[in-house]
């Protein structure tokens, strides 16, 4: 079972330094600013589990919307900070992983997810490309978990300081 948190740590490390050019090349959507009043946001109490995709995770909220005559469950990820000029690939991938979980659990694919920053709320379309990125990342993580050794993919001590896996990381971590 791949933890979404782990997925983020590794994926964020993979993409952190490659910036917007890669984001565009990878086809990750940038998101569209929307009003936050989509509807009542229901906190999610239990994790969503997909055995098919080997994923588990819990979005901050789910909001039920009716669009085009269909009902969707839309995952909402809340970030406490101000919105970056473009959402970080790690944030988008985390939200997309929740979209995939919602798709599997509720049997309806959400057309987008919501990234809610302190000062901005974005709709991130859950495109085919983005969905495939999540599947590829989960597969890469499963392979990494079987590998005898996995090396750090960045040179940012601040990331290690803020990382929950620091103690398990041994010599790879850039912060004590
Ligand atoms: S401690 Fe640093 S190298 Fe280790 S998983 Fe966290 S961010 Fe990556």
How many domains does one find in the chain? 1
- pLDDT, tens only, 85-136: 989 888 999 999 999 999 999 999 999 999 999 999 899 999 999 999 999 9
List the structure tokens of 142: 């499963």
User: CA-CA distance, 71 to 54, in Å (whole number)?
Assistant: 25
For range 155-162, the mean pLDDT: 88
Say yes or no: CB of residue 169 within 6 Å of ligand 1.
Answer: yes
Closest approach atom of ligand 1 to CA 160: 2
77-80 long-range Cβ contacts below 8 angstroms, 24+ apart? 77/113, 77/114, 77/115, 77/116, 78/116, 79/115, 79/116, 79/117, 79/118, 80/118
For range 3-14, the mean pLDDT: 48
Domain of 84 in residue numbering reads as 2-172
CATH number of the domain that residue 164 is part of? 3.90.320
- pLDDT of amino acid 70: 92
Closest approach atom of ligand 1 to CA 172: 3
Say yes or no: CB of residue 9 within 6 Å of ligand 1.
Answer: yes
Residue with token string 């086809």: 27
User: CA-CA distance, 76 to 46, in Å (whole number)?
Assistant: 15
pTM attached to this predicted model: 0.70
């Amino acid at each position: 079972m791949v933890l979404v948190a782990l997925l983020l740590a590794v994926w964020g490390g993979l993409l952190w330094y490659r910036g917007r050019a890669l984001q565009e090349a990878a086809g990750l959507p940038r998101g569209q600013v929307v009003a936050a009043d989509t509807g009542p946001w229901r906190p999610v109490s239990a994790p969503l589990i997909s055995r098919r995709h080997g994923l588990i995770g819990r979005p901050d909220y789910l909001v039920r919307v009716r669009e085009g005559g269909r009902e969707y469950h839309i995952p909402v990820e809340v970030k406490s900070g101000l919105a970056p000029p473009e959402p970080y690939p790690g944030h988008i991938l985390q939200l997309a992983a929740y979209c995939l979980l919602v798709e599997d659990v509720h049997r309806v694919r959400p057309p987008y997810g919501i990234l809610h920053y302190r000062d901005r709320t974005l709709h991130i379309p859950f495109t085919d490309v983005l969905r495939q990125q999540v599947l590829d990342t989960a597969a890469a993580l499963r392979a990494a978990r079987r590998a005898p050794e996995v090396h750090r993919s960045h040179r940012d001590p601040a990331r290690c300081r803020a990382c929950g896996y620091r103690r398990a990381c041994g010599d790879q971590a850039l912060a004590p």
